[in-house]
Amino acid sequence: MQDIPAGRRPRHIAIIMDGNGRWAQRRDLPRIEGHRRGVASVRRTVEECARLHIEQLTLYCLSSENWKRPPQELEFLMHLLEQYMIEERSTIMKQDIVVEIIGRRDGIPDQVLHEMDKTLAMSSENQGTRLCLAINYGGRGELVDAVRKIAGEVADGRLAPETISEQTISDHLYTAGKPDPDLLIRTAGERRVSNFLLWQISYAEIWVTNRFWPEFCEADLHEAIRAYAGRERRFGGLQKDGGKSSC
């Protein structure tokens, strides 16, 4: 990746990790085996982002809609999450990674919350890549929670309605104070955002691969970063040469 200057790399990469179940089914394996293999992809991706000094990596681990899945699969996902929080602590500390979590805590077992909180506290003083895990997360739910907070401040007289701005909303999201994603990666060929960071990805560059998440490796991450580096981000404006697109 030395051919991509640091200034052309994304500060913040967000990933919709899709295809664990389909990867397993195509190999006549149980779906839970796909989730188990997916953890290895998480480990590879986190370590490579840390090596590349990516400022933030946000992973869509469990959506608020995923609770509709079979109880056995959900139980296994919770087990994997608890196991990850325990087993990856030494690597997290060695690589100076800061772990953060966004989403609602309700529904997550107490023992899993305990291990999550322990890892968050342990890594809070680190200075390297920020690893943000979206767990029991939904973009619409996040906006609802933000609106409730803002409404409460208006009702208490602490906020005047006419002063509410886009920044006000950003400041009340789970991601307050963090940079918006520059690059959104989705695996398994799906071309939708699935209720992920709806506010924050307004200007994110999107890169989709047909590879299932358990297959995702460092080379795929590098390909996505190279594709990002080759794009001209205009944020609704004109090209740098003053021209317009042909459409």
Q: What whole-number distance in Å separates Cα of residue 154 and Cα of residue 137? A: 26
The active-site residue, picked from 28, 66, 110, 171, is: 66
Q: Which one, of 234, 220, 179, 203, lies nearest residue 58 by Cα?
A: 179
Does the annotation count 110 as an active-site position?
A: no
The active-site residue, picked from 3, 18, 220, 241, is: 18
Helical pair 71-87 and 110-123, crossing angle rounded to 10 deg: 30
| Cβ atoms of residues 113 and 105 within 8 Å | yes
Phi, psi of 184 (to 5 degrees): -110, 120
Q: How far is CA 44 from CA 85, 89, 100, 151, in A?
A: 15, 15, 18, 42
Does the annotation count 66 as an active-site position?
A: yes
Compute the 3-state secondary structure of the chain and give helix, strand, coil in percent, each to the nearest 5.
45, 15, 40
Q: What is the dihedral of CA 116, 201, 152, 132, to 10 degrees?
A: 10
Residue type, 80: L
Catalytically active residues are 18, 66
